[in-house]
Amino acid sequence: MTEGMAVAKVLTLGGLDPDRIGRALNHPEHLRNVGVVAELLRRMDRAGHDPRLLFNFQTNLFQASYRAQQADADIGRALGRLDDGKGPDWMGQHDAPKMTYLAPTWTPVCAPDSRDRAEWEMERVVARRVVRQLQDVGDGLAWRVYRYDRREIVALADHPSAGPVVNKSGLDHELGWVVDRFRDSGEFTLLHDLTTVLRHHDFTEVDANGYRVLREVKANPTTGNARAKLSKQRRQAEVALAAAAGTAPLGDGGTRLVRSGQQLRTHVRDLSGVMTVARRDGYVVTRVHDRIVGVLYLPTIAAAEADRDLRDVYDAYCGRLNATLDRCLPSTVPRLHARIGFTEPRNAFFAPYSIYPLPVNQRTALICDLAIVDTFMNPDRLCRGFEDLGLTVEYLIGSGSPPDADVLRVDNGHARATLHARAVSQLLFEFVQTDCFVRAFAASLDSPADITQAILTFSNEKGAWR
């Protein structure tokens, strides 16, 4: 799916300048990446758990990711040269083989010899958005390899990022390992550099039975420094896996991963029909079970309103949204709200959009900021759910509460727990069914872990995601 847009002016979202958002969405490389992401999602859907198809899919994802990360590095180099009073020397440092691998090379909107720093900063915005969009696809691959076990994903994400693959020491050796293992055994090896969530070790090796093994490789493993580094990395990975198993805290903060016996159930599939209407009409506001959902589909609006400021359209959308909220979700305390679109990378705790059980074009729209989804919920609904189970509930949010404020305090007479903003964000972003969420959280009060410092996960998430 390649969405054509002519967005000259775009609503203000996420604190970003409207003109910068419009230029980012209309940048040829962003438009190109919409098609790349859609094709990658199709390939990932077809691959299933087939080692050969996964290997080929990962090869395509690596090339797209490397190209985008190289563009980001080249833009950074150009900016550095401008700071030194030099010309940008756009891509002048690459040899012919690399240029062939990067083909088609990144096409900046500005002139390659431009000395306007603002133009190159705009290029960096686009490059980094493309990098993040491709990482969402990589995160989807990670969730599939780890059988949608959120505990393992969260535990393995609790580590500093290894950084970009471009100019990474030992990258050729790592890629050779992935290729050689597939050639010799026919088994798939997941390259962690393609994800944001797998930060321990270099790879996950998957054997024919689906068993997973973390692997770290060094070009010169016999040197004293390499041995010491490997030993430290193994200890860190062992701690992470113990946290995933629930036998140790996560990191140094004492937080524990608690698995609920409650099977995850969501309303995500109901979002598909809403997005279909929004793509046809430009925007829609409707009820999805116990929440109000608004979807703004930018390509459709841009095509229909070419001569109209899109901020006017956004105002009309907000007017309808607010009227619907006042009619359907009256509340004496601030409503719970989450927005998909024009946001920074989400916490590793949340499922990536690439595994949402939606058609390819809709997942692509979420990943590439073509659709904005607002979800609102009345916190009274959560309160009633807990009270129906015999729990006492105390509101913690008020009109001046920040977005990351704690929401509720729940007491069952023996233990008390706080419902944090992150848990509510999961409820809204992932459209978790409220009764499912309430039962899982209530049951966790009987957990031996200190729930005030716990991350709650569900069972059988494989049934909820793609």
pLDDT, one tens digit per residue, over 328-385 is 998 777 889 998 887 665 677 899 999 999 999 999 999 999 999 999 999 999 999 9
Mean pLDDT of 14-19: 53
* pLDDT above 80 for 178: yes
Instruction: Output the DSSP codes for 106-151.
Output: P--SS-TT---HHHHHHHHHHHHHHHHHHHHHHHHHHHHHTTT-HH
| Listed residue (37, 67, 41, 199) closest to 133, CA to CA | 37
Count the domains in the chain: 1
* Residue 456 parent element (H or E): strand 454-459
Look up the domain containing 362 and give its range: 262-463
Mean pLDDT of 125-132: 93
What pLDDT is attached to residue 167? 85
The answer as to whether 89 is a domain residue is no
* pLDDT above 50 for 11: no
What pLDDT is attached to residue 228? 74
What pLDDT digit, counting tens, does each position of 427-464 carry?
A: 999 999 999 999 999 988 876 555 556 788 899 899 99
* Residue 426 parent element (H or E): helix 421-429
What pLDDT is attached to residue 346? 66
- pTM attached to this predicted model: 0.92
For tokens 């409220």, what's the residue?
434
Rounded to whole angstroms, the Cα distance separating 29 from 353 reads: 21
CA 32, 38, 39, 40 torsion: positive or negative? positive
* pLDDT above 60 for 305: no
The answer as to whether 58 is a domain residue is no
The answer as to whether 442 is a domain residue is yes
Rounded to whole angstroms, the Cα distance separating 410 from 413 reads: 9
The answer as to whether 78 is a domain residue is no
The answer as to whether 106 is a domain residue is no
Instruction: Output the DSSP codes for 257-308.
Output: EEEEEEEP-B-HHHHHHHHHHHHHHSEEEEEETTEEEEEEEHHHHHHH-TTS
396 versus 301: which is more confidently predicted? 396
Rounded to whole angstroms, the Cα distance separating 243 from 227 reads: 25
The mean of the pLDDT values for the chain is: 87
Beta strand extents in 150-227 (DSSP E only): 188-191, 203-206, 212-215
What pLDDT is attached to residue 2? 41
What's the pLDDT band for 237 if we cut at 50, 70, 90? confident
What pLDDT is attached to residue 5? 34
What pLDDT digit, counting tens, does each position of 179-233 carry?
A: 999 999 999 999 999 999 999 999 999 998 889 999 988 766 666 676 777 778 8
The answer as to whether 295 is a domain residue is yes
CA atoms within 13 Å, Cβ hemisphere of 157:
21
Three-state SS letters, 359-419: CHHHHHHHHCCCEEEEEEECHHHHHHHHHHCCCEEEECCCCCCCCCCCCEEEECCCCEEEE
Q: With pLDDT > 90 as the criterion, what percentage of the chain qualifies?
A: 57
Mean pLDDT of 233-261: 84
Instruction: Report the Cα–Cα distance between both ends of the chain, in Å, rounded.
Output: 19
254 versus 47: which is more confidently predicted? 47
Name which of 115-119, 415-419, 424-428 the model is least confident about: 415-419
Mean pLDDT of 48-70: 97
Rounded to whole angstroms, the Cα distance separating 320 from 316 reads: 6
C-alpha pair distances (Å), 281 with each of 44, 275, 277, 301, 313: 30, 10, 6, 8, 12
The answer as to whether 191 is a domain residue is no
What pLDDT is attached to residue 19? 64
The answer as to whether 339 is a domain residue is yes
Cis omega before residue 104 (within 30°)?
A: yes
